Amino acid sequence: MPRRFVTLDVFTSRPFGGNPLAVVLDAQGLDDAAMQQISREFNVSETVFVLPPKNPANRARIRIFSVAHEMPFAGHPTVGTAVLLALEDKLVKGTLKIEEPIGTVTCEVTTQSAGQGAGSRKGAAVFTAPRKGELEEVDISRAACAEALNLDESDIGFDAHRPVVASAGVPFLFVPLANLTALARARPDEAAFINSLGGFGEALYLYTLDEEGDADFRARMFSPGLGTEEDPATGAAAAAFPCVLLDAENRVDGHHKVRIDQGFEMGRPSRVDLGFTVKGGQVLDATIGGSAVVIAEGVLHI
């Protein structure tokens, strides 16, 4: 049967930047194997399958597949799908609740749809992370990170920032780098990941202070274990980033805003807007925001 699909670039307001996303709008009747095959056919970092919600008060239920396996939660699929569903509903501004395997995610959405051609259908969404980030008690040496990334040990870390594993639903090894030069020089490979980091190397999120641009941090994410060599924008990692920051920094009580730029080294500049609230040295909540633009629409004959 024909199934409509849409592709978007997410965490960007311009076509051909950000993180590509495929969304299959008519996913009823597809089993797990079919969804995985379709994801491999699109061959982008994640593909979303839209289904009727279990709770009729919610807008939709979604399943998210990388080219390797299903994901319980991911940031750019949440932002992109929220924008697309709002465009489908002709919703200019409002709230959508989307059911994901990790739980129901609340998204605040704004859209615009004017004119014809690339970039004419776009919008932005901010969602509250469905789970607070937590650090895992593991010991990852700077030497092991340097070996996995083909860097010097002196390139790993800055100030009090150290390699840590954190998760807000999807675990990442967060590796702070000394500067933007080290970030650009990082050259990981899957064999080095396995040799140096074992299971902790499935998804590495590298970050450093943005000394040259107008963001707070610049980041890169490598995940050969998830079927993606490098990811242009990683909202699930950003959702866990507040607890990583508090591990190394003293943040006063209140709301904090952090902008993360990613994807520049691979020619797909992305902007992730992170917000989080601190009370008593603990992160109470986090929000992830960004833009998305429709790139293509078509039909799957499956």
Residues involved in catalysis: 46
From the list 86, 62, 124, 74, the residue with the least C-alpha distance to 226 is 74
In angstroms, the CA 133 to CA 135 distance is 7
Q: Which amino acid is at 192?
A: A
**What would the two tokens of residue 143 be?**
């030497």
What HEC string does 133-199 produce?
Answer: CEEECCCCCHHHHHHHHCCCHHHECECCECCEEEECCCEEEEEEECCHHHHHHCCCCHHHHHHHHHH
In angstroms, the CA 99 to CA 163 distance is 32
Residue listed under structure tokens 């860097």: 151
**Cα distances (Å, whole numbers) of residue 301 to 23, 43, 119, 268:** 15, 17, 26, 30
Whether 209 contacts 199, CB under 8 Å:
no
From the list 272, 288, 274, 268, the residue with the least C-alpha distance to 44 is 268
Residue listed under structure tokens 């009580």: 253
Q: Dihedrals φ, ψ of 195, to 5°?
A: -65, -45
